[in-house]
Amino acid sequence: MRYYNDGQSKAPSTVVDFDLFGLPGNFDEQSIKRAANVKHVISSEIAYDNFTGNCRGDGRVKIRLNAGETAEEVRANFIKAGINVKLHSEDPRKKPGFTQPRENIQE
């Protein structure tokens, strides 16, 4: 709580979004948080096989970086744990109908 009371929380924080590959079959969300070794994991998702209940090997994690944490350090933490990491990027061809202005929607 000292971090928040000292005024450190006023500094702008950064959110990074990583795609994870090469996860072991017994990996879960808690394992991702331990591998990231950061203070604030916003969300984590893992693709599971419906029949076996094991991890299929890929996932995604969103992390808020606080003071003293960098995206390079988080990436290095994942690599040390044997996980391949790539910065997430949305598909530019994707055109969601809900977020476009009404005049741009073709009917």
Is residue 104 scored above 60 in pLDDT?
Answer: no
For 77, half-sphere exposure in the C-beta direction (CA atoms, 13 angstrom radius) is 16
Is residue 107 scored above 60 in pLDDT?
Answer: no
Residue 17 and residue 19: Cα distance in Å, rounded? 7
Contacts of 89 (CB under 8 A, 6+ apart): none
HEC letters along the chain: CHHHHCCHHHCCCEEEEEEEECCCCCCCHHHHHHHHCCCEEEEEEEEECCCCCCEEEEEEEEEEECCCCCHHHHHHHHHHCCCEEEECCCCCCCCCCCCCCHHHCCC
Domain annotation for the chain: domains and CATH numbers: 11-89 (3.30.70.330)
pLDDT higher at 34 or 2: 34
Q: What percentage of residues in the chain have a pLDDT greater than 90?
A: 42
Mean pLDDT on 6-32: 81
pTM strictly above 0.75 = no
